Chains A and B, each alone.
Chain A
Amino acid sequence: MLKTDNESRAALKAPAQVVSLCVNGEWSELAVKPRTTLIEAIRDLIGLTGTKASCESGTCGACTVLADGRPVLSCLTLAVECDGMEVRTVEGLAEGDKLNPLQEAFLDHGAVQCGFCTSGMLMSATALLERDPKPDREAINKALEGNLCRCTGYNGIVDALLAASGQPVKARTE
């Protein structure tokens, strides 16, 4: 696309639209431009920074959140598309200070090192367990294939999922 578009585009009216989002059970009304992505709305407008921006092109999964129960890439989702939707982020997993069983399993089994992939990984894992409470290895792989981790080699993450779903796994921490 030739760049002359930019100058004429400067005159384009792209007014903000009001979007209602229910994030982790709380409704917010946000004024967003059409180009505002869901991750920008979550991190910058609502202020929940647990969801991470890493590649901004849907190739790493760090930005994964649940939208109406589906794991989606918030970097490739426009906020205006989410009007009226229920969004869940990593901040919504624990109950106050009490970590949920999946979060505990992540810590018990070495699924966390630098932590940058962790939010997205937890959301993909949450979506999986809600749909399939006792997933086999193939199901785990398919559900998490869109979440890259550079630190753990995934071994701890797989162990955590097996543990969280009540399946046998070797202990890693005491």
Chain B
Amino acid sequence: MILFDFGYERAATAEDAVARLARLGCDARLLAGGTDLLPSMRSELVMPATLISLKAIAPEAPCLGAGGSLRIDALTRLADLERSELVRERLPMLAVAARAVGSNQIREMGTLGGNLCQETRCLYLNQRHDYQFAAPCFKRGGECCYPFPRNKRDVCWSVYMSDVAPALIALDASIEILGANGTRRVGVEELFSGSGLRPLNLEPAELLRAVSVPARPARCGWGFHKSSVRGGLEFGMAVCAVSLRLEADGQTCAEARVALGAVRERPVRAAAAERLLAGSVLDKARLAQAAAEAAKEANALPHHGFTKRHLTDNLRVYVRRTLEQALERARKEERAC
């Protein structure tokens, strides 16, 4: 039950949505699947005066573009993304990541864009505050931080939990952002500010229009794992998405991308781990070493009841395992990854 009134209008096109955002300003929010927005409205974390529904905008089906890249409309439902033959064949990691999100119903409702634009999360934040944690924290515009009382005003350690974002980063995806002045394209990593207070680098009158993933060269392999206590209906404890490209000799690493989710205010590129891998012969020891480095680089925030130590331990194992998966796939010389 949502305990406040708000206005509702439907945008006819994406450009129309942007125009409405520009007109209505900060008091308006876009409504796609609603699986992140509605719970936040129920908890009164956000209380928009107007919702601009994107319901009337039919998403384009995933399609091949220049150079074999795949363009996916941000309004694509996660379930459709996961079921898309094109995506399964060319970007299996993305299909797997989409399948890992939430629950079946959440995937049928939620969109790719909505998943990427979700708010960061924290136990103290994501509940109603009628009698618990009533004084607003920094993220709620207030004066304190409950889990980390010594933090200063501009530091919010709420965690960005998207399962799909790390996969897109590992796939070197870029995003199209539609604004009043047209479309700008940036690498997907640039969407994230790293600040728990304002996690997304989006202007008030901008919307995420599409995601573009380049074609995978030969000898590329992928690995993806979402750590969670149960098999579903959860945000991740930690998410690992890795991509490895091998040289022609089949054992030296040409390029590595290691992206970690549910670790910090934004997904983390384990750059030092990547440097350990690139140019090296990928044996067991090297993979383990890179995984240990990545786990350290993550500098995981304790979140949702998990300690930093445990999250780091978990990452160390699963980054290694996903690297092993990626290596095995790369060796099979798959065309796409």
Q: Does A5 contact B (CB under 8 A)?
A: yes
Which residues of chain A have C-beta atoms less than 8 A from B105's C-beta? 58, 61, 64, 71-73, 124, 146
Contact A77 B34 (CB under 8 A): yes
Chain B residues with CB under 8 Å of A33's CB are 5
Which of B103, B142, B231, B233 has the most chain A CB atoms closer than 10 A to its own CB? B103
Which of these, B34, B46, B53, contacts A76 with CB under 8 Å? B34
Q: Is residue A57 contacting chain B, with contact meaning CB distance below 8 A? A: yes
Task: Tell me if B321 counts as interface (CB < 8 A to partner A).
Answer: no
Residue B7 at the chain A interface, CB threshold 8 Å: yes
Q: Are B5 and A72 in contact (CB under 8 A)?
A: no
B26-47 Cβ-contact flags toward A at 8 Å (1 or 0): 0000010011001100101111
Least CB distance from B121 to A in Å reads: 13
| 8 Å CB interface, A44-98 against B | 56-59, 61, 64, 70-73, 76-78, 80-81
A37-B104 in contact (CB<8A) = no
Question: Which residue in chain B gives the minimum CB-CB distance to A123?
Answer: B105
- CB neighbours (8 Å) of A143 from chain B are 104
**Which A residue's beta carbon lies closest to that of B4?**
A9
Q: Which of B5, B8, B42, B140 has a CB less than 8 Å from the CB of A17? A: B8
Residues in A whose Cβ lies below 8 Å from that of B272: none
User: Is B49 part of the contact surface with A, judged by Cβ < 8 Å?
Assistant: yes
A1 contacts chain B at the CB level, 8 A cutoff: yes
Residue of B47, B109, B142, B231 with most chain A CB atoms under a 10 A cut-off: B109
Chain B residue at minimum C-beta to C-beta distance from A9: B4
In Å, the complex CA distance between A76 and B42 comes to 9
- Inter-chain contact A1/B141, CB cutoff 8 Å: yes
B79 within 8 A of A: yes
**CB neighbours of A80 from chain B (8 A):** 8, 53
Bound Cα distance A57, B141 (Å)? 23
Chain A interface residue count, Cβ-Cβ cutoff 8 angstroms: 39
Least Cβ–Cβ distance between A170 and chain B, in angstroms: 23
Interface string of A131-169 (1 = CB under 8 A from B): 000000000011111111000000000000000000000
A59 to chain B, nearest CB (A): 7
User: Across the two chains, which residue of chain A brings its CB closest to B41?
Assistant: A35
A114 within 8 A of B: no
Main secondary structure of the interface of B (DSSP, over half): loop
**A residues less than 8 Å from B53 (CB atoms):** 80-81
Is B65 among interface residues, defined by CB-CB distance under 8 A? Answer: no
Taking CB atoms, residues of chain B closer than 8 Å to A17 are 8
Report if A76-B5 is in contact (Cβ < 8 Å); known contacts: A1-B141, A5-B47, A141-B232.
no
Q: Which residues of B contact A148 (CB under 8 A)?
A: 233
Q: Which of A13, A14, A40, A61 contacts B103 (CB 8 A)?
A: A61
Residues of B within 8 A of A35 (CB): 2, 4-6
The complex places the Cα of A81 from the Cα of B49 at a distance, in Å, of 17
Contacts of B147 in A (CB 8 A): none
Q: Given the known A-B contacts A34-B6, A70-B109, are A76 and B47 also in contact in the complex, defined by CB atoms under 8 Å?
A: no
* Alpha-carbon distance A2/B44, docked complex (angstroms): 9
- State A33–B102 Cα separation when bound (angstroms): 28
Interface residues of B (CB under 8 A from A): 1-2, 4-8, 31, 34-35, 38-39, 42, 44-47, 49, 51, 53, 55, 77, 79, 99, 102-106, 108-109, 136, 140-142, 231-233
Can you sample 5 A-B contacts with CB below 8 Å? A12-B6, A34-B51, A58-B106, A72-B108, A81-B31
Extra contacts besides A33-B5, A35-B6, A73-B105 (18): CB < 8 Å: A2-B136, A6-B4, A14-B6, A14-B7, A35-B2, A37-B1, A40-B1, A57-B42, A58-B106, A59-B233, A61-B105, A71-B104, A73-B106, A76-B35, A76-B39, A145-B104, A146-B103, A146-B105
